[in-house]
Amino acid sequence: AQKVTQAQTEISVVEKEDVTLDCVYETRDTTYYLFWYKQPPSGELVFLIRRNSFDEQNEISGRYSWNFQKSTSSFNFTITASQVVDSAVYFCALSGPPPNAGGTSYGKLTFGQGTILTVHP
């Protein structure tokens, strides 16, 4: 069975601080995908990133960066110089292999419980 744990329920920071959101996962699949989604106060789910299990290269996109470490089954998300607009619930998610890798439930994401991030001015 798959499991995603986001141990931090709530994080509160002041603007311009850096903040890291933790995500730890469990899976028996050798091929899998990891995702981060953002849910701002307006309620929609915004796709941020997808990584596959064979690509451990860290990724940076503007103020966002992701650290994928297979050895610790973690896929952490860091926001540098946080801003008030970053306030949202952030979800980490895991899926199995896609059809071309023998999977049948790639789109069946297992989500973590989410981390509520509040950035104060």
For the chain, helix (H) and strand (E) counts, in that order, are 0, 12
Q: By rule CB under 8 A, what count of residues binds other proteins?
A: 26
CB of 103 to other proteins, least distance (A): 8
Q: How far apart, in whole angstroms, are the C-alpha atoms of residue 95 and residue 98?
A: 9
Residues 30-49 that bind other proteins (CB under 8 A): 35, 37, 42-47
Contacting residue, 53, 76, 82, 110, with other proteins by CB under 8 A = 110
Is residue 100 a contact point for other proteins (CB under 8 A)?
Answer: yes
Q: Does 121 bind other proteins (CB under 8 A)?
A: no
Scanning 11-19, 21-29, 74-82, 100-108 for contacts with other proteins by CB under 8 A, the matching segment is: 100-108
Q: Quote the CA–CA distance of 58 and 102 in Å, as a whole number.
A: 26
Tokens of 95: 């899926």
In one-letter notation, the amino acid at residue 81 is A
Distance CA 89, CA 112 (A): 11
Question: The tokens of 117 are what?
Answer: 């991030």
Residues of this chain that interact with other proteins (CB under 8 A) are 35, 37, 42-47, 50, 91, 93, 98-101, 104-114
